[in-house]
Amino acid sequence: MSTVRISLRRRVALAYTVLGLVLSLLFAAATVFITEDYEHILVDEILRGQADDYALRLAANPATVLPQSHRLSGYLRRIDGRGNVPTGLAALGPGIHESHGDSAEGIHIGVFDTDQGRLYFVIDLSDIERLESHLEWFLIAVIVLGTGVAGWLGWLLAGGTVAPVRRLAEAVDALPTRPQTSGLADAVSDDELGRLAAAIDRYQGRLVEADMQERSFFADASHELRTPIAVVRGAAELLLDDAQLPAASRRVLQRMDRGVRELTDLLDVVLDLGRRRDPVTETVQVRTLLRDAAAALQEGGANPDLDIAIDASGEWRVPQREALLVLRGVLRHLVPVEGRGRLSLRGERTLLEMSYMAADESHALAPHTPQRSDSGLPVTLLGRLAATLDWRFEEQTFDTSARRVRIRLPEAALDAAPGSIDG
C-alpha cells in the first residue's frame, strides 16, 4: 500500500489553511452569538420599558390607548377579564416570547402582569431578521475568504520558511563525492537548522578522517605488496636472460612474467583508485602512447609473432600514466597469451579502436564474453579507472575469429590541439 507523501511546504500551507478555517469559524460563531444575544437584550429592554411606561399611564388614566402600529402593538387584559386580546397571544404566559415560522419570523411578544391587568406587547423586527440573513451570508464569505487567504499566506510564508532548508539541501547536493570538510553551519541561523547543518559538517569531517585512513592503508598495502612482486619479477627476468633455457620453460616463464607485469599494473590501478586523486593531464603524442601501451605485450621476448600496426597521429591531453594502465590492461584482455596474429590500433579524434585478428585457423580464439556493467564498462578495476578518466567503452567483441574494443574519449582530450588527430 503506497503512502502519499506531501512536501514540507504543502504541509505548512495546509496547517495555515486549517488554522484560517478554524479562526474564521470561531469568528462567525462569536458574531452570531453576540448578535442573537444583543437582539434578545434589546427586545427585552424595549418591551419591559413599554410595559412599565404604559402600566404607569394606565394607573393614572385607565382609558389610555395602547400603541397600535406596524412596529409595536399593545393589548390589555384587565383583571376582570375584559380586553380584546388575540387568541394566539392569550395563551402565552408572562415573559418574552419569539414566534417562529416563515410568516412570523422576527415577531417578539412580551407578556407582563401589572396592577391594571396583563399587558401584551408585540414588536415586529422582521427587517432586522433580514439583516441577520445578510449577516449570515457575509459570515459565510468571511469563512471562505479567510480560509483562502490563510492558505495563500501560509503558502508564501512556508516558502520563506522552507527556503533555508532548500538552500541547505542544495549545498549538500553540491558536495563532491570525494570526502571534504564543509562549513554549512556558517551559512545558516543558529537554530534547529543550524544543528542539522553542524551535524552534516561533523559527518563530513568523519568522512575526511576515514578517507585519510583508507588512503594510508592503500599506500602501506601497495608498498608491502610491491616487494614480493618485485622479487618474483626479478627472478623471472633473470631466468629469461639464460640463453640455454629450454623453449618450454621459457614459454612458462614468459607467461609468468606477463602475469606478474599485469599484477603490477593492477596494483597501480588499485592504488590510484584508493588514493582518489585528480589525475594530472598532459599533452601526449597519440602514436607514442599507443606504441608504449602495445610494447608491454612483447616485453621479455613475449609474443614474438605478434604484428602490431598503429594508425594514429596528433595529440591527446590525457593523464599519461593512468591512460597507459588502462590501455595495457585492455590489450592484455584483447591479445591472448602467445598470440600469433595482427594487432591494429587506430586513433581518430576521440575514438580509439583496438582489434586483434588471429594469424590463421590453427590459432583461432576461444569464445569469450567479458562481463559488462550497465554503463558499458567492463566490471573490472580497469573499468573503474577508465570511468575516472571519463573513457566510455562503446563496443567489446570477443569471438573465435577476432576481438575488438572501441573506446570513446571525452572531448576535453582534444583541448590541447583541436583537430590535430586526423587518423
Residue 370 has pLDDT above 60, yes or no: no
103 or 116, higher pLDDT: 116
**Strand, coil or helix: what is 258?**
helix
User: Parallel, antiparallel, or unpaired: how do β-strands 341-348 and 307-311 relate?
Assistant: parallel
Closest CA to 385 of 404, 370, 407, 369: 407
CA distances from 7 to 10, 18, 172 (A): 5, 16, 19
Name residue, grid cell 616463464.
253
Most confident of 171-180, 272-281, 366-375: 171-180
Asked if residue 2 has pLDDT above 50, the reply is yes
Q: How far apart are CA 345 and CA 312, in angstroms?
A: 8
pTM of the full structure: 0.49
Structure confidence at residue 373 (pLDDT): 41
Nearest residue to 372 via CA among 352, 387, 390, 350? 387
Residue 136 lies in a domain: yes
Predicted pLDDT at 112: 92
Instruction: Give a yes or no: residue 264 inside a domain.
Output: no
pLDDT band of residue 22 (cuts 50, 70, 90) is: very high
Question: Which pLDDT belongs to residue 25?
Answer: 92
Whole-number percent of the chain with pLDDT over 90: 8
Q: Kindly give the residue spans of alpha helices, DSSP state H, lying in 103-246.
A: 126-173, 192-240
For residues 423 and 349, is the Cβ–Cβ distance under 8 A? yes
Residue 185, domain member (yes or no):
no
Distance between CA 315 and CA 13 in Å, rounded?
59
Domain assignment of residue 171, yes or no? no
pLDDT at 30: 92
Closest CA to 326 of 386, 282, 281: 386
Question: Does 368 have pLDDT greater than 60?
Answer: no
In a domain, 224, yes or no: no
Residue 190 included in any domain: no
CATH number at residue 383: 3.30.565.10
Residue type, 324: L
Which pLDDT score is estimated for 375?
37
Cell (9 digits) for 371: 562481463
Pure H helices in 277-399: 286-295, 320-334, 381-388
What pLDDT does 101 receive?
Answer: 62
- Count of domains observed in the chain: 2
Average pLDDT over every residue of 80-96: 85
| Strand, helix or coil for residue 316 | strand
pLDDT at 367: 54
- Among 126, 149, 172, the domain-final residue is 149
Domain end residue (candidates: 149, 178, 207): 149
Task: Please determine, for residue 4, whether its predicted confidence score (pLDDT) is greater than 70.
Answer: no
- What does the pLDDT average to over 291-310? 80
All residues at 6 or more sequence positions from 300 whose CB lies less than 8 Å from its CB, including other chains: 236, 237, 240, 254, 257, 258
Q: Is residue 187 part of a domain?
A: no
Show the domain range for 116.
Answer: 8-149
| pLDDT for 103 | 59
Last residue of a domain, one of 149, 176, 194: 149
Identify the pLDDT of residue 376: 39
Q: Quick check: 221 pLDDT over 60?
A: yes
Residue 415 has a pLDDT of 66
Compute the distance between CA of residue 280 and CA of residue 276 in angstroms, rounded to an integer: 12
The answer as to whether 364 is a domain residue is yes
Is 26's pLDDT higher than 90? Answer: yes
Comparing 149 with 380, which gets the higher pLDDT? 149
Question: CA–CA separation, 73 vs 51, rounded Å?
Answer: 11
Does the structure show a pLDDT above 70 at 366?
no
Mean pLDDT of 331-356: 85
